[in-house]
Amino acid sequence: MSTPPPRVRFAPSPTGYLHVGGARTALFNWLYARAHGGTFVLRIEDTDAARNTPAAQAAIVDGLRWLGIDWDEGPEQNGPHAPYYQSQRGPIYDAYFQKLVDADHTYTEPNGAVRFRSPKKTIVLHDQICGDINIDRSEEPDMTIRRPDGSYIFHFVNVVDDIEMAISHVIRGEDHIYNTGKHIELFQAFGATPPVYAHIPLILNPDGSKMSKRDQGAALSYYIDHAFLPQAVANYLCLLGWSPKDDREILTMEEIQPLFRWENIGHSNAKFDLEKCRWLNAQYLAKLDAPSFDHLAIAWLLAQPTPLPGTDDPRLREVLPLIQPKIKAIPELAEHLPMLFDGAAPIADDARAKLAAQPALAPRLATLLSYLENLSDWSAASIQAAVAAAAAALAIKPGALLFPLRVLTTGQAHGVDLLPALEWLGRTEALPRLHARAAALTATST
C-alpha cells in the first residue's frame, strides 16, 4: 500500500527574528518533505497584530532562504491553500468557529471570550520520536479559542490551518508536546484525523538554559551578519539532535535527506556549541573558491560600521587568499587586516615576550636586515634564501630567524604565511617597517 506524499509545514510567528531552534525545526521539516517527495509549506502565524511587522516577516523569509530552505507553498510562493498569512485568513476561521458553535463545543465567558468545551479525557499521543504519551486532559481548564475582540487563539488557528492545508505531519519542538493534547481535541471536534506528530528535542545554551533572543548565536541573523557559510550552519544545526549514525559530520543537505528518519533523531536536548559551529564553518570556508571567498569577505568588510585597514586598498584582493586558510569565520579579518596593512601597528605583548627569550636578538636582527637590504629580487623565494644566508652567517637554523621576522613584519606572533606576506607587502613597504620594529624591539629589550 502506498501512502500519499507528506505535507509538512513550518509555522513561525513573526517576532522580529528567527531563532536557531526555529531554523532547525524548519530545516527538519524541509528535510522530511524533500526526503519523501512531499510538500513543505511556510505559514506565517501573525495573529498578533502588535508584533507583526514587515521587518519581522523579512527576518523569517530571508533567514530561511539564506539557509537554503525553499518552500513549495507560502509567502511569495502561493499555492492552492493561499493565503499563507494567518492575518489574512479571517473568513476561514470564522467558518470553522461556527462549526464548533453549531456543534455546541463552545461556550462564552461573561467578558465575551469563547472557550472550547473539552471532553476532559486522556489523549494518547503516538509521537514518532517520544513514543506514546498519555496526556490527561480531565483536570485542565477549557482552552480559550477566541478573544473578546473576536481574534482567535493560536491553538484554534493552528489546527484549522493544519486541516485546511492538509498537513500530514507536524514536526515541531518538544515545548509543544502538551499543546498537542489540546490540538487533538480540536481535530476530533472537527471530525478530522490528527496529523502524525514528531516532537524534536530542544536546543539549549551551553549552560543548559533556554536560548533567548539576546544569547550570542541564538538568532540566525548572527550567522548572516558574521558572514558564516549557510551550508556550514545548516550542517551544524542538523548535527544537533540528528545523527547519520556513523562517524561523518560534514554532510550536504543532499546527503542528509535520505538519512533523515525518525530513528536518527535524538531524544534529549542539545547544548549549542558555537566553537564547533565555527570549526565546521572553517571546513567549508577552506573549500571555497577564491572568487566566492573574496565576495564574502568584501561584502562583510563593506558592511562594517568602522572600515578596517585595507578595505579600500587595491592590494586587498591579493592578500585575501593568504588569509582564507587561516580563519574559521570571516570576522577574523578584523585581526588579520590591521597587522597586514598597518606598518605602525604596535608589537603585541605575547610576541614581544616570546622574542625576549631569544639570545642575541639585536645582532641577529641586524644581520638579518642587512641581508634583506641587499636583496635585489623581493620574492618569497629570494627572501627565503636571504634568511637562510643570514642564518648560515650566524651559525643558527633559519627557523630561528623566521619568528623574529614575522614579528617585525606584522607585530604579531600569529598570522598568515610569512614569506608570501612579505612578498605581497613589497620591498619599499616592508623594509621600513622591519627596521622600525627592530629598533623598537632592541631599544626596549636591553
Partner RNA sequence: GACCCUUUCGUCUAACGGUUAGGACACGACCCUUUCACGGUUGUAAUACGGGUUCGAUUCCCGUAGGGGUCGCCA
Site for RNA in 107-166 (CB under 7 A): 109, 111, 113, 130-131, 133-134, 136, 140-141, 143-144, 147-148, 151, 153-155
Binders of RNA in range 297-336 (CB under 7 A): 325-326
Q: What are phi and psi of 40, to 5 degrees?
A: -110, 120
Q: Do 389 and 367 contact (CB within 8 A), yes or no? A: no
Tell me if 178 contacts RNA by CB under 7 A: yes
Pick from 206, 321, 338, 343 the residue near RNA by CB under 7 A. Answer: 206
Tell me if 25 contacts RNA by CB under 7 A: no
Cα distances (Å, whole numbers) of residue 55 to 17, 59, 213, 214? 9, 6, 16, 18
Q: Of the two residues 360 and 381, which places its CB atom closer to RNA in the complex?
A: 381
Tell me if 249 contacts RNA by CB under 7 A: yes
Pick from 35, 92, 166, 177 the residue near RNA by CB under 7 A. Answer: 177
Binders of RNA in range 348-377 (CB under 7 A): none
Tell me if 270 contacts RNA by CB under 7 A: yes
Q: What is d(CA 157, CA 62) in angstroms, rounded to the nearest whole number?
A: 24
Smallest CA-to-CA distance from 370 within 348, 386, 346 is with 386
Which residue do the cell numbers 487533538 mark? 184
Binders of RNA in range 73-92 (CB under 7 A): none
Q: How many CA atoms lie within 13 A of 121 on its CB side?
A: 8
Tell the smallest beta-carbon distance from residue 275 to RNA (Å).
Answer: 4
Tell me if 45 contacts RNA by CB under 7 A: yes
Smallest CA-to-CA distance from 375 within 329, 327, 322, 434 is with 434
Q: Do 87 and 136 contact (CB within 8 A), yes or no? A: no
Q: Of the two residues 177 and 334, which places its CB atom closer to RNA in the complex?
A: 177
Q: Of the two residues 305 and 359, which places its CB atom closer to RNA in the complex?
A: 359
Cα distances (Å, whole numbers) of residue 138 to 121, 127, 185? 5, 20, 12
Stretch that binds RNA, among 67-75, 98-106, 177-185, 289-297 (CB under 7 A): 177-185
Tell the smallest beta-carbon distance from residue 4 to RNA (Å).
Answer: 27
Stretch that binds RNA, among 69-77, 260-268, 299-307, 370-378 (CB under 7 A): 260-268
* H-assigned helices in 267-396: 274-286, 290-302, 316-323, 333-341, 349-356, 361-373, 380-394
Tell me if 174 contacts RNA by CB under 7 A: yes
Stretch that binds RNA, among 96-104, 307-315, 340-348, 409-417 (CB under 7 A): 409-417
Stretch that binds RNA, among 267-275, 287-295, 338-346, 367-375 (CB under 7 A): 267-275
Q: Of the two residues 227 and 323, which places its CB atom closer to RNA in the complex?
A: 323
Tell me if 415 contacts RNA by CB under 7 A: yes
Binders of RNA in range 208-227 (CB under 7 A): 208-210
Q: What is d(CA 47, CA 15) in angstroms, rounded to the nearest whole number?
A: 11
Angle subtended at Cα 382 by Cα 377 and Cα 385, rounded to the nearest 5 degrees: 145
Tell the smallest beta-carbon distance from residue 5 to RNA (Å).
Answer: 25
Tell me if 47 contacts RNA by CB under 7 A: yes
Pick from 5, 266, 426, 432 the residue near RNA by CB under 7 A. Answer: 266
Smallest CA-to-CA distance from 260 within 4, 8, 43, 2 is with 8
User: DSSP per residue over 40-74, as a string?
Assistant: EEE-B----TTT--HHHHHHHHHHHHHHT---SBB
Tell me if 389 contacts RNA by CB under 7 A: no
- Determine how many CB atoms are found less than 10 A away from the CB of residue 133: 16
Q: Of the two residues 107 and 299, which places its CB atom closer to RNA in the complex?
A: 107
Cα distances (Å, whole numbers) of residue 359 to 3, 124, 351, 355, 405? 77, 77, 15, 9, 15
Tell me if 279 contacts RNA by CB under 7 A: yes
